[in-house]
Amino acid sequence: MPTTLSADDLKAITDRLTVEADVLREELADAESKMPALYADCDLDPADVGARVSALAALRADADRARILLDRVVATLPRVGTPGFGRCTVCGDVIGRDRLLAVPHTELCIVCARAGTGARP
Name which of 28 and 109 has its Cβ closer to Zn ion: 109
Question: What's the rounded Cα separation, in Å, for the pair 18 and 14?
Answer: 6
Question: What's the rounded Cα separation, in Å, for the pair 102 and 83?
Answer: 20
Min dist. Cβ of residue 104 to Zn ion (A): 16
Name which of 28 and 108 has its Cβ closer to Zn ion: 108
Amino acid at 83: P
Residue window 68-107: x/- pattern of binding to Zn ion, with contact defined by CB under 5 A: --------------------x-xx-x--------------
Ranges within 4-33 binding Zn ion (CB under 5 A):
none
DSSP 44-74: --HHHHHHHHHHHHHHHHHHHHHHHHHHHHH
CB atoms under 10 Å from CB of 2, counted, come to 14
* Binding span for Zn ion by CB under 5 A among 29-37, 55-63, 73-81, 109-117: 109-117
Interacting residue ranges for Zn ion, rule: CB under 5 A: 88, 90-91, 93, 109, 112
